[in-house]
Structure 1
Amino acid sequence: MKTCTSHAAPLDGLLDQIRRCEICKDHLPLGPRPVIQAANSAKLMIIGQAPGTRVHASGIPWDDQSGERLRRWLEIDRDTFYNPQHIAIMPMGLCYPGKGKSGDLPPRPECAPQWHPQVLPLLPQIGMTLLIGQYAQQRYLNDKPKALTDTVKRWQQWAPRFIPMPHPSPRNTLWLKRNPWFEEEVVPYIRDYVHQHLGLTKE
């Protein structure tokens, strides 16, 4: 049953519009397949970079090893993670952008300016937004350092509204080993918010 509020119907219509979006289709090697999850009751927003090939194929956000680590950080199961009533997921680029010389290409620049300002006002319950990676941090953080590590170290400057984070990709395992403070200090703070505001009981 959908939540009966003034935001529900406009959001449903907007999500339908977003999922039909083709504004940058000529630049997408696999074609458009916008990946987004949201409901007006969501209390946590996750803004990452852009879907990879696996997510493009499944249409399920964070449906990969990075998502597994992210869910471990949050200490939540897949059912909770993929419940839009709890968690909204809206990357900087909603479609797979293609492969570059050293990993995937950056998110398409048309996407976030087109859709983020329309979606966010319809999510009035969001109290924390996880900004995963440089692109999300550049858009939403004022007075941030250039380097991601320096930005994440200053996380308390923007908390709890925004939390800058490294990507949970296996490629960042070395970064996490070099910066143990992230999993010792930042992750528990995020986890406490999630469990408190989503009404979950920590094991």
Structure 2
Amino acid sequence: MKPSQTEDKELLSRCLAGDRDASEIFVQQYSSLVYWAVQNILVLKHIRFTEDDLHDLHNSVFLQLFEKQCKKLRQYRGDKGCTLATWIRTLTVRITLNYLRKKGVDSIEGRSVLIPLEELSDLREEKAGPWELLEKSEQHRMLRHGMQNLPPRERLFLKLHFDKGLSIPEAAETMEISVQNAYTIKHRAIQKLKSYVASVTKS
């Protein structure tokens, strides 16, 4: 259940007063939202990223909110019906875009690649490899077959995220696991699928 505006204001007041317990609750409450907003921007910008990139940007958002005695967090006014969640999502987008402008896209692309599951049908390596040898229809068929060989937990996650269109935080909530654990499952499943396709194309 989403917190009411009254509950948001009370939690915010406690955070601004320096209540550490409230700050921890605040991070837990909005962590999934921040992860989702960061990943959404990276996907929309067609930028490849790793779990470390997500964690870094996630942490950067909360760091900026709480640094200098919550200077940025104090900027929230709730004007015109803007909820705290909407404001945090907007702020996350701004921080992510600023990060990309300052660091440059190459700073993310240069790392070990974790490609969003939404783009599995278009997966391919930077260098010529098995992904480039497959037509999309054949690639899709192989991915589906490869999914059947995954452990039940990974297969369930892919079904929720890929077939049902749930975001990673939503899939994590459905499976009753942490968002961080969901990203780990996603990364592991993708690597297994890539290995499966590579083995099939070599046979």
TM-score above 0.5:
no
Higher strand share: 1
Structure with more relative contact order (C-alpha pairs < 8 Å, separation 6 or more): 1
TM-score, normalized by length of structure 1? 0.26
TM-score, normalized by length of structure 2? 0.26
Larger Rg: 2
Higher helix share: 2
